[in-house]
Amino acid sequence: MASPGTLGNLVAPGEDAYPRRFENIERALKELGPSIAESLRPIIQDLQDQQAALTAQVASIAALVNTQVSPTVAHGDVNAFSLATGPNVEKVRVTISVPTGYTRALVYATATMVAANPTATSDDMYLQITVNGGALGYSAQTSVPPTRIGTATKAIAGLLTGASGSFYVNALASSWAAAWTTGTADNYINLDVMVLFLR
């Protein structure tokens, strides 16, 4: 065998030297394979365990959220109504049942009113929304020319506390100068309510 610093070491390797080197490398890799796989096994198992734990935590958080909030929606409408002067008068109401265990409610409601002014002069119409009779903000006001149709839209958002049993959301309306006594089919109010109950 040639050794460093000897003439034998200066002799060029034979033609079969490189294939033998590749074979040696391949053999070494094959021999290392099982030991590498064995060393990676606990790492892979740990990653799988962490993934399972995360999946369980996400499911637990989702279940917790579902027990803390409860959404619901409601709709009411009315048509062919008349309007009177003075305070706003209820035209449509929806009643919301409070789920057991919930005491607060985030309430968002919108109402749209379309009404024809049957009088000979321009007049105003008013639209209001209340939650259990409590008004949140001012009435929406629209001026309507004589014998024409007007539109008013009102939206409210509020937090109802101490909720139990049920509560109502209603839309109320009125006119200003004269009564709009001709309740034509053109007159209608749509009331839509979205509630998110909280514990």
What per-residue confidence (pLDDT) applies to 23? 75
Indicate the domain borders of the chain.
Answer: 71-198
pLDDT digits (tens, 9 = 90+) for 14-62: 666 667 777 777 777 677 667 776 777 788 888 888 888 888 788 777 6
pLDDT digits (tens, 9 = 90+) for 45-54: 888 888 888 8
Domain formed by 71-198, architecture = Sandwich (2.60)
d(CA 199, CA 189): 32
